[in-house]
């Protein structure tokens, strides 16, 4: 620590001293262990005071170097209490997974490597681990042999990559090289999406110049699944987007029939399987994804169902060339190799070595472990739904995967109940609208969730509803 305060040292001298100061890293480890040890006992959502205390960070950029011990202390004192305790067992918001200990530990180590997997020559080890993950994922999820994987920050980017590969491939078939000519004057592509598509799909379409308002939207059933009988005719200029896991209900589109038709017509099919694609890794649940292997590209997150640390998403593409053609670039200093150059598969050049945590997550669980984890999340969601039903709540979806949609009957009561649940800190759920009704949305997405966590959360639901009921 004293080095930081040495008068007259240059900043490089100071940093060099820190790079050998193991105490600094021991301190970080102590804080992290303190955090992890207490995460299950604290409010799931930070208290108001903890959030207000964050104002200590709102200061001007310091003129001079700061003591890194003081920075760590500040982060732990003010930052840790203001985190959302999503690595405990009672966070059910959005679709946010927990974190597998072995993967987190692997990340600690590999953060110290600070590798850049853009090119093989920049990091042989990460290139090899990307290759291994690609192979493991293809096998685990039941995708066609030879499918390529790109390691990106999340499903938003993965979907963007799948759709750009599809867009460019379809236009290439029409004799139009979009990467050089751009979209102006290009032949039209018809985009077909289900009414329940995730908002990131629309975002990707708008970025790609395909327009989020000029789509053919296919109506969905009461579970949010595309109705196959409402599908338009496909042709070789159709970009079709299906999903595995509706972000609210967790439902899966009926792939087999649709994908067969699309394939026959020469359309490109992308499946947004951010959290649901993992159903394919379970013998009991893979009936949900049956037929999705006929698609052309897929997006999936490791940081959701698999419980890998953030940020960890994957684009998968049956046609390796199509993905590379859409994303590669050149420059006189770039050294491509015979081995895997990761940047050929992603929009970014430099990026984190996130395949290491993916490798560690998959290896820590093994094939049977991934399957068991997915089934456990489903089983816990079903238990949650049963308990809530017994307590008089209404469950609005078939709990086919890990999502549960809850209503208190009356719309106002549902909204107020959700507000009180969020206030208690006992557990945390988000809200949404489902079939024009406000709902409380539960996602069981962490291996940390126990049956006791669910019982305790159901009690919190009941108390919140009682309190909300007294106001009506
Ligand atoms: C979470 C989610 C996304 C977005 O994924 P990110 O990893 O947050 O970018 C896309 N589609 C579905 C269905 C999702 O659940």
Q: What is the dihedral of CA 252, 255, 257, 262, to 10 degrees?
A: 130
pLDDT for 2 equals 47
Work out which ligand 1 atom sits closest to the CA atom of 245: 13
Work out which ligand 1 atom sits closest to the CA atom of 243: 13
Q: What tokens appear for 222 in the block?
A: 């009461």
* Beta-carbon count within 10 A of 450 CB: 13
Give CA separation, 347 vs 132, 162, 367, in Å: 21, 11, 30
Helix, coil or strand: residue 250:
coil
**If we measure between CA atoms, which residue out of 415, 412, 374, 409 comes closest to residue 388?**
409
Q: Is the distance from the beta carbon of residue 354 to the nearest atom of ligand 1 less than 6 Å?
A: no
Work out which ligand 1 atom sits closest to the CA atom of 275: 15
Q: What are the backbone dihedrals phi and psi of residue 177, each rounded to the nearest 5 degrees, phi first?
A: -90, 95
- How many whole angstroms from 89 Cα to the centroid of ligand 1? 21
- How many whole angstroms from 438 Cα to the centroid of ligand 1? 21
Q: Is the distance from the beta carbon of residue 301 to the nearest atom of ligand 1 less than 6 Å?
A: yes
* Category of 259 on φ-ψ map: left (φ > 0), alpha (ψ -120 to 50) or beta: alpha
Q: Answer whether 247's CB lies under 8 Å from 402's CB.
A: no
pLDDT for 5 equals 53
Buried b (16+ CB within 10 A) or exposed e, 208-244: bebebeebeebebeebbbbeeeebeebeebbbbbbbb
- Cα–Cα distance, 258 to 350 (Å, whole number): 38
- How many whole angstroms from 258 Cα to the centroid of ligand 1? 22
Give CA separation, 1 vs 9, 31, 64, in Å: 14, 17, 16
**If we measure between CA atoms, which residue out of 450, 142, 115 comes closest to residue 300?**
142
Q: Is the distance from the beta carbon of residue 198 to the nearest atom of ligand 1 less than 6 Å?
A: yes
Q: Is the distance from the beta carbon of residue 154 to the nearest atom of ligand 1 less than 6 Å?
A: yes
Could you tell me how many helices (H) and strands (E) the chain has, helices first? Answer: 14, 11
Q: What are the mean pLDDT values of the chain's consecutive 10-residue runs (472 residues total)?
A: 62 96 98 97 96 98 97 98 97 96 98 97 98 98 98 98 98 96 96 97 97 93 97 97 98 97 98 98 98 98 98 98 92 86 96 98 98 98 98 98 98 98 96 97 98 98 97 78
Helix/strand/coil (H, E, C) string of 269-310? EEEECCCHHHHHHCCCCHHHHCCHHHCCEEEEECCCCCCCCC
Q: Is the distance from the beta carbon of residue 224 to the nearest atom of ligand 1 less than 6 Å?
A: no
Beta strand 297-301 with 268-272 is parallel
Name the residue of 163, 301, 309, 443 whose CB sits within 8 Å of the most ligand 1 atoms, as the mutation to test its pocket: 301
Spatial neighbors of 306 by CB under 8 A, at least 6 apart, are 97, 100, 278, 358, 361, 362, 365, 370, 373
Q: Is the distance from the beta carbon of residue 247 to the nearest atom of ligand 1 less than 6 Å?
A: yes
The strand pairing partners of 268, in sequence order, are 239
Helix/strand/coil (H, E, C) string of 17-28? HHCCCHHHHHHH
The DSSP secondary structure of 299-354, one letter per residue, reads: EEETTTTT-PPSS-EEEEES-HHHHHHHH----TT----SS--GGGGSS-SS---H
Q: Is the distance from the beta carbon of residue 313 to the nearest atom of ligand 1 less than 6 Å?
A: yes
- How many whole angstroms from 293 Cα to the centroid of ligand 1? 19
Q: What tokens appear for 120 in the block?
A: 């093989």
pLDDT for 118 equals 96
- Cα–Cα distance, 99 to 303 (Å, whole number): 8
Which residue's CA is minimally distant from atom 12 of ligand 1?
274
Q: Answer whether 412's CB lies under 8 Å from 472's CB.
A: yes
Q: Is the distance from the beta carbon of residue 275 to the nearest atom of ligand 1 less than 6 Å?
A: yes
DSSP 8-state symbol, 439: E
Q: Is the distance from the beta carbon of residue 314 to the nearest atom of ligand 1 less than 6 Å?
A: no
Which residue's CA is minimally distant from atom 5 of ligand 1?
155
Name the residue of 194, 247, 430 whose CB sits within 8 Å of the most ligand 1 atoms, as the mutation to test its pocket: 247
Specify the DSSP element, H or E, that contains 224.
Answer: none
CB neighbour class for 10 (10 Å; exposed up to 12, middle 13-18, buried from 19): exposed
Q: Which CATH architecture has domain 372-469?
A: Alpha-Beta Complex (3.90)
**Residue whose pair of structure tokens reads 């208190």 in the numeric block:** 408
- How many whole angstroms from 200 Cα to the centroid of ligand 1? 7
Name the residue of 152, 155, 195, 309 whose CB sits within 8 Å of the most ligand 1 atoms, as the mutation to test its pocket: 155
Orientation of helix 354-390 relative to helix 451-469, angle to 10°: 50
Q: Answer whether 421's CB lies under 8 Å from 462's CB.
A: no
According to the CATH classification, is domain 104-362 in 3.40.640.10?
Answer: yes
Q: Is the distance from the beta carbon of residue 252 to the nearest atom of ligand 1 less than 6 Å?
A: no
- Cα–Cα distance, 321 to 332 (Å, whole number): 22
Q: Is the distance from the beta carbon of residue 253 to the nearest atom of ligand 1 less than 6 Å?
A: no
- How many whole angstroms from 274 Cα to the centroid of ligand 1? 5
Name the residue of 96, 154, 303, 358 whose CB sits within 8 Å of the most ligand 1 atoms, as the mutation to test its pocket: 154
């Amino acid at each position: 620590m004293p080095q930081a305060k040495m008068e007259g040292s240059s900043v490089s001298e100071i940093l060099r001293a820190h790079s050998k100061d193991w105490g600094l890293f021991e301190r970080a480890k102590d804080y992290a262990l303190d955090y992890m040890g207490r995460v299950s006992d604290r409010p799931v959502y930070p208290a108001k005071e903890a959030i207000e205390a964050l104002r200590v960070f709102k200061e001007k950029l310091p003129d001079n170097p700061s003591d890194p011990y003081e920075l760590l202390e500040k982060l732990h004192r003010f930052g840790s209490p203001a985190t959302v305790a999503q690595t405990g067992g009672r966070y059910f918001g959005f679709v946010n997974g927990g974190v597998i200990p072995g993967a987190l530990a692997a990340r600690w180590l590999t953060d110290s490597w600070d590798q850049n997997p853009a090119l093989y020559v920049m990091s042989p080890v990460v290139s090899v681990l990307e290759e291994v993950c690609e192979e493991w994922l293809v096998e685990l999820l039941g995708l066609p042999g030879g499918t390529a994987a790109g390691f990106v920050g999340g499903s938003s980017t993965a979907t963007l990559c799948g759709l750009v590969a599809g867009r460019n491939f379809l236009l290439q078939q029409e004799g139009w090289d979009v990467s050089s000519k751009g979209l102006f004057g290009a032949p039209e592509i018809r985009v077909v999406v289900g009414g329940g598509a995730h908002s990131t799909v629309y975002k990707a379409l708008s970025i790609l110049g395909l327009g989020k308002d000029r789509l053919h939207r296919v109506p969905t059933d009461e579970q949010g699944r595309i109705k196959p009988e409402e599908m338009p005719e496909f042709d070789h200029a159709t970009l079709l987007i299906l999903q595995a896991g509706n972000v609210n209900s967790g439902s899966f589109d009926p792939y087999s029939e649709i994908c067969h038709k699309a394939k026959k017509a020469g359309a490109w099919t992308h499946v947004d399987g951010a959290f649901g694609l993992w159903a394919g890794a379970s013998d009991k649940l893979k009936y949900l994804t049956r037929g999705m292997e006929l698609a052309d590209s897929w997006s999936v997150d490791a940081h959701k169902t698999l419980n890998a640390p953030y940020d960890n998403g994957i684009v998968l593409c049956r046609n390796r060339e199509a993905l590379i053609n859409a994303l590669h670039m050149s420059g006189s200093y770039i050294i491509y190799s015979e081995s895997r150059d990761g940047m050929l598969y992603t929009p970014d050049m430099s990026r984190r070595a996130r395949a290491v945590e993916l490798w560690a997550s998959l290896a820590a669980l093994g094939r049977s472990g991934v399957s068991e984890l997915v089934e456990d999340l489903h089983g816990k969601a079903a238990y949650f739904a049963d308990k809530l039903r017994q307590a008089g709540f209404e469950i609005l979806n078939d709990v086919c995967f890990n999502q549960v949609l809850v209503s208190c009957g009356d719309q106002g009561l549902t909204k107020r109940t959700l507000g009180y649940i969020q206030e208690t800190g006992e557990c945390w759920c988000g809200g949404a609208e489902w079939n024009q009704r406000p709902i409380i949305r539960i996602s069981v997405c962490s291996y940390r969730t126990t049956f006791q966590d669910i019982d305790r959360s159901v009690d919190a639901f009941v108390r919140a509803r009682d309190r909300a009921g007294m106001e009506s």
